[in-house]
Amino acid sequence: MIEDLAAARLQMALSLGWHIIIASFGVGMPAVTVFAEWRGYRTGDPAYTRLAHRWAKAMGVLFAVGAVSGTILSFEMGLLWPGLMGQYGDVIGMPFALEGIAFFIEAIFLGIYLYAWDRLPPRAHILSGIPVCVAGVASAFFVVSANAWMNQPRGFDLVAGEVTDVDPWAAMFNPATPPQTVHMIVAAFMVTGFGIASVYAVAYLRGRRDRHHRLGFALPFTIAAVLAPVQVVVGDWAAHFVGTNQPAKLAAMEGLATTQRGAPLSLGGVYVDGELRYAIEIPNALSLLAHWDPNAEVTGLDQVPDDAEPPVTVVKWAFQVMVAIGFGLLGLAGWWALAWWRRRGPPRSTWFWRAAALAGIGAAVAVEAGWVVTEVGRQPWVVYGQLRTADAVNPAPGLAAGLALVASVYVFLTAATVVVLRRMARRNAEEPVAPQEETP
């Protein structure tokens, strides 16, 4: 049973970890692409239109593989966790149903957008991309609201172990929905912006500095850079919510062993034998960040029963990685803004472009780390305070075989996606640049 539980959790982690990056591009890339096309239409600059055309092709590939991984996840929810879906399916079924509707709307209009590029007037074609943008964001909202419900279950009564008086709207719009959905949607746009820009940063370092590549970097990077400080504020909002509503998760995020007033913020450190060692502490900072009061009491792990304590080391280091990368991206955004403010041009330092080339990977790692904090920090509960993960897993033996099968599928999907995108990039690189896009 323990081995099957571990296999089920690993399979779900693999599927979610793979899908969340592809889904992030599904949320942000339509908006970036349509905006580029709109700029080309308004300014008459063919570089914008050329970028939009190329990004749309990559968007189609990512949508296809995202549909595959999303379908796998939908089956896994029922096959791996019948204890969850069997008991609470009526409560959280609505956001999944709405996500399905949003997915079909996105698929329909994406087909129109991709295949009617030269068959519709420019304005009509741009308008056909707007439903793709809206549906992508809506899909993220519905899915994350279901996950938020797992952190703050609402919209039902539990009578003698039976779910009654179901209110799907109250479940979907639970208290965790606002901070968690906003945090994820902003993160998705940052992954998209920094991810696209990193490709052009690599090209810049290799000497490709024509207008096409400069715009290919500047447009998505600027979008992500603008959102970087916004994400810091949203992240503080989300952390404050966790501190108020999930004190055990906050204690694990900080490795706070004992309940105390004026709790310090810990940077680094190793949690061993119920004690955080080798950490750099900022006095009173955790109380201030969690409760906006430097002398507020913060619940420590000593108030959490042993059988309900999250895996502290994993949660703490995931949180540290997420925050460190987030502030690193914020610093990179500030560097970009300062250069434009001082001389109306991008930074000249090679170190900036090297960091920008890594920003896409960094943003993706930060999203993965954030989901580790969200999911592992809730353990051992699959529905916080209501249903343990061990009680929700499929009791049938042999789940490890399913893990091996799904892992092989994702290896194939990863390889196929990389090969297709690289071939597309190579083909695009061989296309001649228009005279007005050449470097002066």
Residue 332 structure tokens:
């990179």
Q: How confident is the model at residue 396 (pLDDT cuts 50, 70, 90)?
A: confident
Q: Give Cα 40 distance to the centre of its chain.
A: 29
Q: How confident is the model at residue 292 (pLDDT cuts 50, 70, 90)?
A: confident
The count of other CB atoms within 10 Å of the CB of residue 292 is 11
pLDDT of residue 268: 85
pLDDT of residue 266: 87
Phi, psi of 208 (to 5 degrees): -90, 100
> What are the structural domain ranges in the chain?
2-259+299-435
Predicted confidence (pLDDT) at residue 287 exceeds the cutoff of 60 = yes
Average pLDDT, the chain: 89
pLDDT of residue 429: 59
| CA atoms of 158 and 165, how far apart (whole Å) | 9
| CA atoms of 440 and 435, how far apart (whole Å) | 10
Predicted confidence (pLDDT) at residue 436 exceeds the cutoff of 50 = no
pTM higher than 0.85, yes or no?
A: yes
User: Which of 194-203, 251-260, 285-294, 324-333 comes out lowest in average pLDDT?
Assistant: 285-294
Higher pLDDT, 8 or 431: 8
Residue 340 structure tokens:
């434009």
Q: What is the pLDDT of residues 137-185, one digit of tens each?
A: 999 999 999 999 999 999 898 887 788 888 999 999 999 999 999 999 9
Q: How confident is the model at residue 428 (pLDDT cuts 50, 70, 90)?
A: low
Q: Which of 411, 369, 47, 60 is nearest to 217 (CA)?
A: 47
CB neighbour burial string for 146-157, b if at least 16 within 10 angstroms, e if fewer: bbbbbbbbbbbe
Q: Which of 219, 346, 243, 327 is nearest to 293 (CA)?
A: 243
Q: How confident is the model at residue 188 (pLDDT cuts 50, 70, 90)?
A: very high
pLDDT of residue 400: 84
Q: Which of 223, 143, 218 is nearest to 190 (CA)?
A: 223
pLDDT of residue 162: 85
Give the CA distances from residue 425 to residues 55, 174, 210, 420, in Å, rounded to whole numbers and listed in that order.
Answer: 10, 43, 16, 9
